[in-house]
């Protein structure tokens, strides 16, 4: 079942690159008591994700935070090293780059994308959500092109 507005974020873990290397961060650490914009991409360094989706949030992160958002986080079913390198290459130092390497959290959300036709295996659908203290208040899932999950769409919804 796909997560819906009003649902609590499932418990889970991500990997992020810390000062001393890869480290785990829980959903409780990210979402509890905070307003968070979480957006997900099918893959780091892929065309739309790198040319438009991530850059939109890099450009608008300050505007989004000015609307009361504590954290803007990018998630992908990639390993922590790829997510870290992608974040560095995109100047995304003000975003939290979350690796869901085994798609565990993506599966818990019910937002899996079968990318095996492209040799990509299990991935995340392209989406963005606003989460208030662990509860989803907005969920925008793109059916095809980047539209509903763009930084501009989320900024307009805040």
64 DSSP 8-state letter? H
| Rounded distance between C-alpha atoms, residue 79 and residue 136, angstroms | 25
Closest CA to 14 of 148, 115, 152, 124: 124
The set of residues, in sequence order, having a beta carbon less than 8 Å from that of 33 and lying 6+ positions away, is: 133
Instruction: Give the pair of three-digit tokens for residue 19.
Output: 């000062």
97 DSSP 8-state letter? E
Is 49 an active-site residue? yes
Other Cβ atoms within 10 Å of 134 Cβ, number: 18
CB 29 within 8 A of CB 13: no
Q: Which of 41, 49, 83, 151 is catalytic?
A: 49
Instruction: Give the pair of three-digit tokens for residue 97.
Output: 């780059």
The set of residues, in sequence order, having a beta carbon less than 8 Å from that of 59 and lying 6+ positions away, is: 151
Residue numbers annotated as active site: 49
């Amino acid at each position: 079942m796909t997560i819906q507005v009003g649902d609590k974020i499932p418990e889970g873990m991500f990997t992020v690159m810390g000062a001393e290397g890869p480290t785990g961060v829980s959903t409780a650490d990210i979402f509890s008591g905070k307003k968070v914009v979480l957006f997900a991409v099918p893959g780091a360094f892929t065309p739309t994700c790198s040319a438009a989706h991530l850059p939109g949030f890099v450009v608008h992160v300050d505007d989004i935070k000015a609307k009361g958002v504590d954290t803007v986080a990018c998630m992908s079913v990639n390993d922590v090293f790829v997510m870290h390198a992608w974040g560095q290459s995109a100047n995304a130092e003000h975003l939290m780059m979350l690796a869901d390497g085994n798609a565990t959290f993506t599966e818990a959300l019910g937002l899996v994308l079968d990318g095996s036709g492209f040799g990509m295996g299990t991935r995340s659908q392209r989406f963005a959500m606003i989460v208030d203290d662990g509860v989803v208040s907005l969920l925008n899932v793109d059916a095809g092109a980047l539209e509903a999950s763009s930084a501009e769409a989320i900024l307009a919804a805040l």
